[in-house]
Amino acid sequence: MKTDGFRVSLVDLGRIEGFSGGNHGGFRSVWEMGDGTFGRWEIENQGTPGIKFSPDTSIDRGIFSQKNLLGIVGRDKPFPAGQSRPLHWSLNIKDESNIPIKINCETSAVGEQTKVMIKYNAFSLFKLENVHISIPIKSGEAPIDKVTEVGRCWYDPGKTKEQSRVHWSILAIDDSNRNGSIKFFVPGALNVSKLFPILVKFKANDTYSNLKLTIVPFKKQNAAPEFEHHKQLVAQKYEIEG
């Protein structure tokens, strides 16, 4: 799309810690404007129902709550060019299908070894990219016979045994591989609690809010300029507790 000198970036910075039926996510929308003189932004949530928005203190909260318009406090005051204005949201997650990816971990004794099975289930809400799953080992013993259905995995001994981890990297998760697993063996006995917390990183080109943005000029006779709208979901902190 041809743009008139500015770009809008909308980034969901997700923060989900475990899953207990009441977690919250949050995002920060970044407004990068080359010319901030045109007016206000009208927003429409076309994504997950139940999202609660909370604008930055510099945003006129009265007009936002009444008309869903984002504008700087002060009559017809434009957004400063090139500056960011965050719009936070929270979502009470009660359904597992609303989380991007779920991780399950199982262990079983096999002779003098422990068999570890890690499984993921990615829901159809997003196509995930650059997925990285990091599993602590904490035994100091290098895992053997690592087998993965998708992606690649490797062992990092770290500087101490408490820092040793198995890393699992998947380029993309879409409808072709919504489920996957990794299997490896660890010498000796290993309690499943030692495999947590599991850290997950990923990106997606869709967001929870999927906001529709419309420019509302200060003066009705002024035509709204074109703009480029970039959306991305980023897992800022996605931690699976045991």
Residue 116 lies in a domain: yes
- 2 belongs to a structural domain: no
pLDDT tens per residue, the chain (242 residues)? 333 445 565 565 555 544 433 344 444 455 554 455 567 888 888 877 778 888 888 888 998 899 988 888 877 777 776 677 777 777 777 677 778 898 999 999 999 999 999 999 998 888 999 999 999 987 667 888 888 889 999 999 888 878 889 999 999 999 999 999 999 999 988 888 889 999 999 998 888 777 788 888 877 656 777 777 777 888 777 888 77
Q: Which domain holds residue 227?
A: 7-91+208-240
Beta-sheet strand order (sheet of 228-240): 28-32, 7-17, 228-240, 198-204, 128-136, 165-173, 152-156
Contact (Cβ atoms closer than 8 angstroms) between residue 62 and residue 41? no
Nearest CA among 194, 189, 193 for reference residue 109: 189
Q: Are residues 83 and 108 part of one domain?
A: no
Rounded to two decimals, the pTM is 0.80
- In whole angstroms, what is the distance from residue 64 CA to residue 43 CA? 9
Q: How far apart, in whole angstroms, are the C-alpha atoms of residue 184 and residue 149?
A: 12
Within a domain: residue 220?
A: yes
1 falls within a domain: no
φ, ψ of residue 97 to 5 degrees: the values are -70, -10
Residue 17 sits in the same domain as residue 79: yes
Q: Across the strands, what pairs with 29?
A: 10
Instruction: Write down the pLDDT at residue 4.
Output: 42
Would strands 7-17 and 228-240 be described as parallel, antiparallel, or unpaired?
parallel
